Amino acid sequence: MNAADFAYLADLLKRRAGFHLSPNKTHLATSRLAPVARRYGFRKTDELFAELRDAPEDLARAVTDAMMINESSFFRDKSCFDHFRGVILPSLLSARAASRRLRIWCAAASTGQEAYSLAMILDEAKIAKDWRIDLIASDISGFAIARAVEGRYSQYEVQRGLPAQTLVRYFAQDGDQWRISERIRRMVNFRTFNLLDSYGWLGEVDVIYCRNAFLYFEPLAKRACLKAFASVLAPDGYLALGASETMEGASTAFVPDDASVRGVYRKARHAIRPIALAS
Amino acid sequence: MKHCLVVDESRVIRKVVCHLLEEMKFYAEEAAESASALETCRAQMPDVVLVNLGNAGNMELVRAIRRNASAKRPVIIGTMTEHDVGHIREALSAGADDYVLKPFDGDSLKEKFAQTGLM
């Protein structure tokens, strides 16, 4: 891949996904784009780039999709999920006792492991039947979401992070693949969504999980997303980022929930809009 | 320092795993078969037993450790070559806490230990 094509790719990813492609990633780009080129009938990636500059939407989407990092695992960073089970969920169940409604959004759901981890915790919590719980999971990558909906994982993927008891309770073995139970699958609503697009479809949510996506974001895109998160998150809601991600220089709307659990935030007092009183 | 007992009939596997455990700052002991493993457990119950469950006789070792009324309840992790749900269920009902697929490296061992609260 030549320098001009690589620069074009970096710009495309920045515009479309707020994604920061570091300059040393030429090799990664070549290996990720070769299958896309083949799928579209190009013999080489430079032919793909010539076509891409004419900006057909579906090709640009396929290229963006192929460049995303879909690394995920069940209960990744265990402490964050322990915190959900032990603190976030009980506090929201009590705060929402009147409406009996809870809305949780996995904003960078990748291939589904994180959303299903939350779904299994919700299932184990045996929340009374008259609660309405929306578990929404989105990702920019249509490929990742298609896999998530399918709910099939390799033995390598289920080995990572899943306790054996949880595996035998919620998964059925199918050859060397493991499929998550229909009941858990039905708890999650998956959709493709670019975090830079409009959040109008979403409505207010009580919990946002957006873990390890901002690691690859341009600073401005991260700032814009956190601003949007603050506007859709309930005043007493929770936001979970990856353990190594911080708010530094990106947002003042959130404060750490518990110093011992990295990555979990609540809204800062000044970011909570006063409730308009009916006159 | 936490104490781990490695039970596997293969000398090479015992050696490799003990080396990984020492790197993880565990005190590692080894046993080639279940009788000597049980003896070690009776002398001093380890914090964790990493036992090859590909060997059918070792399933009985897991049951025997769980029957032992020692005040300390060790974490038992089975090692397996076949990823089979029936086998995993059998291990869990015998009293194992979790399993790890062979071959495994230091990272997957650490992950499993963290998950079972050992690290």
- By C-alpha distance, which of B99, B64, B106 is closest to B84? B99
CATH class of A78-271: alpha beta
In this structure, how many other beta carbons lie within 10 angstroms of the beta carbon of residue A211? Answer: 24
Those of residues 142-161 in A touching chain B at CB distance below 8 A are: 155, 159-161
User: d(Cα A201, Cα A46) in Å, to the nearest integer?
Assistant: 38
A130: phi then psi, degrees, rounded to nearest 5: -85, 10
Three-class secondary structure of residue B117 per DSSP = coil
Q: Domain ranges in chain B?
A: 2-115
Is the predicted pLDDT of residue A277 greater than 80, yes or no?
A: no
Q: What is the DSSP letter of B54?
A: T
Its pTM stands at 0.89
Contact A138, A191 (CB under 8 A): yes
Pairwise pLDDT comparison (A204 vs B72), residue with the higher score? A204
Q: Domain ranges in chain A?
A: 3-67, 78-271
What distance in Å separates residue B82's CA from the closest CA in chain A? 10
Instruction: Give percent helix, percent strand, percent coil of chain B, each to the nearest 5.
Output: 45, 25, 30
Task: pLDDT band for B70, please (50, 70, 90 cuts).
Answer: confident
Task: pLDDT band for A255, please (50, 70, 90 cuts).
Answer: very high
Is the Cβ pair A164, B114 closer than 8 Å?
A: no
Q: What is the pLDDT of residues A221-252, one digit of tens each?
A: 999 999 999 999 999 999 999 999 999 999 99
Percent of chain B with pLDDT over 70: 100
Tell whether domain A3-67 is in CATH 1.20.5.
no
Segment B32-49 shows an average pLDDT of 95
Quote the ipTM score.
0.85
Q: What is the pLDDT of residues A34-61, one digit of tens each?
A: 999 999 999 988 999 999 998 788 999 9
What is the per-residue pLDDT for A56? Answer: 81
Three-class secondary structure of residue B84 per DSSP = coil
Interface probe, candidates A75, A77, A117, A159, chain B, greatest B C-beta count within 10 A: A159
Of A75, A161, A164, the CB nearest to B88: A164
- B2-115 CATH, one of 3.40.50.800, 3.40.50.300, 3.40.50.2300, 3.40.50.920: 3.40.50.2300
What is the per-residue pLDDT for A274? Answer: 66
Q: What is the pLDDT of residues A129-178, one digit of tens each?
A: 999 999 999 999 999 999 999 999 998 899 888 999 999 999 999 988 99
Contact A8, A16 (CB under 8 A): no
Using CA of residue A231, residue A235, residue A237, residue A240, what is the dihedral sign?
positive
User: d(Cα B22, Cα B47) in Å, to the nearest integer?
Assistant: 14
What is the per-residue pLDDT for A275? Answer: 60
Average per-residue pLDDT in chain A? 94
Nearest-5° Cα angle at A136, A157 to A140? 70
What is the per-residue pLDDT for A278? Answer: 54
Interface probe, candidates B51, B76, B77, B85, chain A, greatest A C-beta count within 10 A: B85
Those of residues 90-109 in B touching chain A at CB distance below 8 A are: 91-92, 96-101, 108
Interface membership of A174 toward B (CB under 8 Å): no
Name chain B contacts of A161, Cβ cutoff 8 Å. Answer: 111, 115
